Structure 1
Amino acid sequence: MQDEAAASQVFTPEMIDTMAHIWTRSIITLIDVRFQNVASQYPLEQYKMPSSMFIYACGGEAQIQMNETTFGMERFGLVHGGKGSLLSISPKGENVKTFMVFYKAELPLFFKRHLQQLLEEVNPFVQQYGYTPSNPILLLDWFQQMMTGWNRGKAMDQLQAKSFLYQLIHGVYRDFESGEIRYLQPDPACSAKIYLDKHYMQPIMFQEIADMFGISGGQLTRLFKKKEGMSLQEYLIQRRIEAACHDLKHTEATIKEIATGSGFADEKNLFRMFKKYYKMTPSDYRKINALSMQVDGIDNDSHFLYYERELAGLVQSYREGESTMFGKVRSKEMILAATMSLMLLLSACASGTPSNNGGTVNSNPAQTQQTTQPEVSETNASEAVSQTRTISTVKGDVKVPNNPQRVVVDYLVGDVVALGVTPLGVARAARDGKEAVFANQITDSIKIAMEPEDVMTLEPDLIILAWGDENYEDLSKIAPTIYVPYGDMTTEERIHFIGDVLNKQEEAKAVLSAYAGKIEEAKLALQNAGLSDVTITMGEFSDKSNYIAGAKHAVGELVYNGLKMKAPSKVQTDIIDTDKYWGDISMEVLAAYIGDYLIAIGDTEVPTDNAVWKSLPAVQHNRIISVGTSLSWSTDIMTSSALIDHIVNQLLAMAR
C-alpha cells in the first residue's frame, strides 16, 4: 500500500480511464528498445531522455533518480518519464539489469482537438512515476521479448515488439486500478539536496520542496538532517557561501552582484554570513585569496627564472594548503598573518597617511571602484547589517529587525519569554489567564485577538505566528511575520529557530541545555523509583467518549518521546504506530487501552460512577494524574518544563 509520500502518484479511476482513452486514440511510434547492465562502479548519471521512456530495473537494490526526484528500488522497479527528463541509476549492489523502451506519441488530426482537451487534464506521455509491478516476472518476460523482437530488425518482429508495449501499458494501468501496488518511495532528503544544489541562487521555500513528496516541512527537515548531518537552512547557506567564495576568487563582480548571484537577499546578508563563518568581510576574503593565488612577485635582491608559464621557485605548495617560501615551511596561519600585515602596509603607503582603523583602503583603484561600493568600511557595514537580518522560513525569506522591540506572539508565548523577550502583545494565552506558567512574565503584555485590525494598533516590528497561517498574508503587510510550523518541528528545532528570529542564539542554547538536563534528571528519578517499565495511558475520559492521546499530542509527545515512558500495547499499535493524534475509544473496550497509570488531560470530570471505569486497576489504586488545560494546551518549552515537574512529582508520590 502506498503511504502519504506517494500521494502525488495515486491515479483515480477517472484518470486511468482518461489515460487509456488517450493511448487508444494516439499514434504511438516505438523508437528503440535497449538493455544495459548498470554496474555500481559505472552508474548511469544524468542521462537526458531523448523521448518518452519506460525503464525497467531488476536484479538488485538501486537508487533511481529522475529529474529532482530520487526513488529507492529494492528488487524490481518500473519507472516512466517524459522527453528531456534526466535519468540516473545507481546500484547499491554489484549491478542492476536495465531495460529501456523509447517511444513517441502523436495526435491524429481527426481526434486532435478532443485529445488536446484531455491532455490538459492528464498527459500520460510525460507523467513521472515509479512502482513495483504486481507481477514483476511477467513484465521481465515482456521486456525480454520486446528487446529480442526489436533487435531482429524484421517488420513482423518489430510489430510484435510494439504489441508488447501495448500489453505493458495495459498491465501498468491494471496495476494502478487495483490500488494494491507499492509505489517506489521518493527519497525526500536526497531530492531536496539535488533541488538546493540546482536552485540555491533563487528564493527557496522549504515547504514547496516538502509538498513535492506529500510530507510536512518538519518531516523533510528531520529526514534531511538525519541524512546530511545539518538542517536544510544550514545546507542552503553553505551552498550559497561556496558559490560566493568561488565568485570572489575568480571574478571581479561587485559584492552586491555576487550576493544576488549566490542567492543571498542582499550584500548585507552576505556580509553577515562571512563574518559568522570566516570572521572576515567578503572584501578581505577576496584580497587574501587574490594574494595567495598570485604566483609572481618582485624581489629587489634577485630574480627568479621564468619557465614559460610563471616565475619559478617563489612559492611552492606543501602538504594540505601549507606553503614553502625560500625553502622554509610556513603554516597556513603564519601565511595568513603575513598577508594581512602586508595588506595593511600597502594600504598605508598607498594613501600617504596613517591607516585608519575605521575602514580599509584598497591599493588597487580599479578593484576599489568595484568592490567597496556596498561596504565603504567595516564599521559602517556592521551598522547597516545590525538593522535587519534575513530568516528563511517555510513561507520564504523574511527580513526581521536585528533587535526587535515590539513583538507580537500568537501561540508559543512561553518560548519567546524563555529566551528573555517580553512580548508587546500576546494572543490565545489570554484564555488561560493567570494559570499559564508564564503569566507573571506577561502581566504588561497586551492581550489581543490575532486579527490584522487588532495587531495593527500595536504597531509591532515583528510578528511570530504559530497557531494557523490563514492571516499570514495580511499580517505580513503590517510587520515582518515569521510562521512557525510548530507541529512539524521538534522542541530543539523550534527553539533554535525562534532564537535565530529573535537574535537570541546563545539564550536558545542555554534554554535547551537546561531543558535536556531536566528531562535526564526526570528519567533518572523515575528509574530509581522503579517506574521505568510501567505503562502510561493519557487522554480525555467521560461517560460519552474517551479520547486516548498518541505521541503527536503535546502531553503524549513529552511522556512517550521525551521521558521514554511506555504505552500499553493497544495504544502503541492502534494510535502511536498509526501516527494518530487521538484515538476515539468506546467505554466497552477501554480496559484494553489502559496502562498502570492514567493521565487525565483537560478540565472535564472523569466518569467516576461508570462501572467499567471503576473496574480499571489504575482507577482502583488511585493512579490518576490530572493535567489541566493550562499545562496541556501548549507545546512551548516553559509549559513543557512545568508539565515534566507536575507529572514526575505525581508519579513519584504515587510510587511512594
Structure 2
Amino acid sequence: MKLNDHILLWNHVFIKVMDVRHVTLHKDKGLRNYRLPTSAFLYTIRGNAQIWLDQSVHKVERFHVLHGGKGMCLNIVTEDELEYYLILYKTILALPSSRDIQQLLERENPFQCQYAFAPHQPLSLYDKVELLEQAWRHSTELGNIHVKALLYQFVYELLAQLHRQGTQPLKPDLMAQAVAYMHEHYRQPLTLESIAEQLGCSAGHMSRTFKKHMHTSPIHYLGQVRAERTMQLLMQTDATLQEIAERVGYPDAHSLSRSFKKYIGLSPVRFKKERLQQSWHQDLPTTMLTYAVQQKPSRLYNDIDYQYRYKARGDIHMQGRIKVTAMTVVLCLSLLLAACSTQANTTGGTQTEANQTTAPTTGEKSNGDAQAGVQAKTRTVSTLKGDVEIPAEPKRVVSDQYMGHLLKLGIIPVGVRSFMLSEAWIEKAGISKDLIAGIEDLGAFPMNLEKLTYLEPDLIIGSMEKNIEDYQKIGKTVFLPYWEGLSTAGPLEKFRRISEIFGKEQQAEQWITGYKQNVEDAKKKIAGIIKEGETVSIVQVANKTLYVLAAEGGNYGSSTIYEMLGLPPTKKALDMKEGFETISLEVLPEYAGDHIFVYGSHDKGANDVLNSSIWKGLAAVKKGNVYMYGSFDDKGDEFVMEDPYSLELQLDSIVNLLLANKK
C-alpha cells in the first residue's frame, strides 16, 4: 500500500498497547511458529538471525525493524545471541469517521501490513523503545497514558524514517494466512468468525477475498482439509470413526460421516472398504498413500504457540512420481463418486417442476465450441431491496421462513431455521421424516452464518431485513418479509410471492383454486352457526398477556377465520391498525364478540384469564360460544404458520370446532 495512506490511517485510530517485551534468545534457541495475537513491532538491537513473517524471510543484523499483523506466523532462527523488543498493540477506528476512511481501512489496513527495514538512525528508535518498555514494566493507571504517548513517539519516528528511506509496506497474503491457519488448527471447532478474528479482519472480508482467489468458501475449504485427513486416518490406522472425528474437528462420528459424504461422495466406511478392495493399493506401502483434496500445509507445522515440528520426507524421484499418481487417482475417483452422488440425491434442493419462464443471459451459441450449448440461466426478481438476479432454477435453496410454501411448490430446501424443522403441521401433513432429516438445521434468527456458508446455497430467502446484509455476503439473497410492521400479508398473497421467485405462479394458482373451493364447501357446512348480526372475536393468551387479533393482518388462524371463512369480526377488530392489540383483562368485554375463539387456552398463564370473573361474565362464555384451539408451546402447531399445509389443516380444525358446537 501507499505510505501516505498508511500515515493517514494512523491519524484516525486509537491505540491500545497490549504488551511490551524485552527478549534475549540464545544461540540455537529460536522462536518457532508464534502466531501474532495482535499487530506487532519487532525491533532487534543486537545479534544476527533469520526471521520469517509468514513465508517472507528477513536476514537481520543488529538494528532492524519488522512489522506484522494479527495472525501472521513468526519464526526466528538465531545465528548468535539475539536481543529484541516486541511491541503488541491493537487499533480502534475513531468514531465518527468518514466513509472513505472506513473503506480505506477495510481495503488496505496498514496494521495488518508486513514490512522490514534497517533504520538509518537506529539509536533514535532505540531510545524510544527502551523508554516504552520501562514505562510498561512500571505502569500505573496514570502511567498507561505515558505508555501510549511513548508508543506514538516510536510510531512517529518509525514512519518518518520509512518515509525518508522510501520503504513501502506490503499487504499481507490473507489467503496464505487463512490456508495455513486452517491446516494448523483444523482439529479445533473453527468458525468463519473465529478464523477471521485470528487473522485480524472481518468475516465478510475474508469470505469474499477467499472466494475470489480460491474459488470456494473458507468453511468449504476447511471441510476439504478435514476430509483429506480423514482419508489418511481411515487408510493408515484402525481408529474408530469417533476417534477420527475427535481428531479432525468434529464432535461425533455422525457429524464426521455426514460431512465426509458431502465432500467425497460416499460414507467413510464405504470409502475404506472400496479402497481396500482396489488392486492398486496392494502395490503401494500404506505410508505412501497420501491423499490430497487441497494443497498441503507448509513444512512449518504447529499445534500451539512455541511448538515446532519438521517432518523430513526425503522422497526419491521415482517414489515422488508414484505418490503423485496415487493422489491423482484418488482425487479423480473421489470427484467422480461425488458427481454421481449429486445426481442421485433427490433431497438437496431439487425442484419437481422445471421453470419454463427463464432465458439465458450470457453468450450466443458458437458452432465451433462444444461447450457453448451450456449457458448460465438467470431470472430477475423484484424485492423491497431492489431487483436481484438469481439462478433460473436454483438447486440449493436456504430460507429462514416459508419451508411449507417451498415444499408445496416441490422445492426441498437444503437448510432452514430450526423452528421450521419442528412445526406441528409436518407430521399431520404426512411429510416424510427422511425428507426433513435431509434438511440442515441453521439455528435461530439470524441463521448460522458458518453453516450457511458451508452449504454453499445458490439462493437464500430472508424474512428479516436486519439479517439480509449478512446473507448477501454468502450468496444470492431475496428479501421477502414475513411480517410487515406488526401485520402479515395475506397467506395466499405470501404463497404467490414465493411462487414468483421460482417462476411457479401457475402451480401456486392451481393449489389456490383448489383451496378456495374447499373453503366454499366449508362455508356451506357451517352455515347458520354464526347467526345474522352476531360477531366473532379471536383472543390469544400467552405468558399472562392478553391479545386480540385484528380482522386483517393477524396470525394464529385469524386469516382462516376472518378472511377465508368470512366470519364477521367485531368493530374493534376491524379498526385495528396492526395485526393485533395487547389489552388488559379489564377491557376484554369491549373487544369480545358473540362468539370467541381462544388461541392457547392450555398455555402458561391462560388459567389466570379463563378462571377470572371477567371472563366468566362474558355473554359468549355464558352461552357456550367459545372455541378453544391451538397452543404456542415449544413446537407450536399448525396455526403458527400460514403456509399451504397449515392453511389446509386450519380450515379443517376451525370447521370441526364450529360443527361440534352446532345447536
Indicate the TM-score class for this superposition, using the shorter chain for normalisation.
0.3 to 0.5
TM, length-normalised to structure 2: 0.39
